[in-house]
Chains A and B, each alone.
Chain A
Amino acid sequence: MGSLKSLSLGAMLMLTCASFAQADAIKLEGGKETNLVLLPKFLGILVFDQANEGAQEAHKELANPGELLFVGPTPENSVAGQIEIMTTSATQGQGAVMLSNNAGDQIVPAAEAAKAAGTKIVTWDSPIPSGNGEDVFVAQVDFGSIGTVMADMAHSILGGKGEMAVLSATPDAANQNAWIASMQEALKGAKYADIKLVDVVYGDDQAEVSYNRALSLVDQHPNLGLIMSPTTVGIQASAKAMQDEGLCDKVKVSGLGLPSEMVSYTMNGCAPEFALWDFRDLGYLTYFTAYGMATGQLKGEIGESFHAGRMGDYTIEADPGREGAKRILMGPFTVYNKGNVEAAAK
Chain B
Amino acid sequence: MPTPLNSTVEVKRQAPTPYSFSRPYWEGTREKKILVQYCPRSGQYQFYPRPVSIATGHRDLEWREVSGAGEIFSYTITRRAREPFRGHEPFIVATVTLDVGVNLLANIVECDEDQIRIGMKVEPYWLPLPNGMHLLMFKPKR
Partners in one complex: no
Q: Which residues of B contact A (CB under 8 A)?
A: none
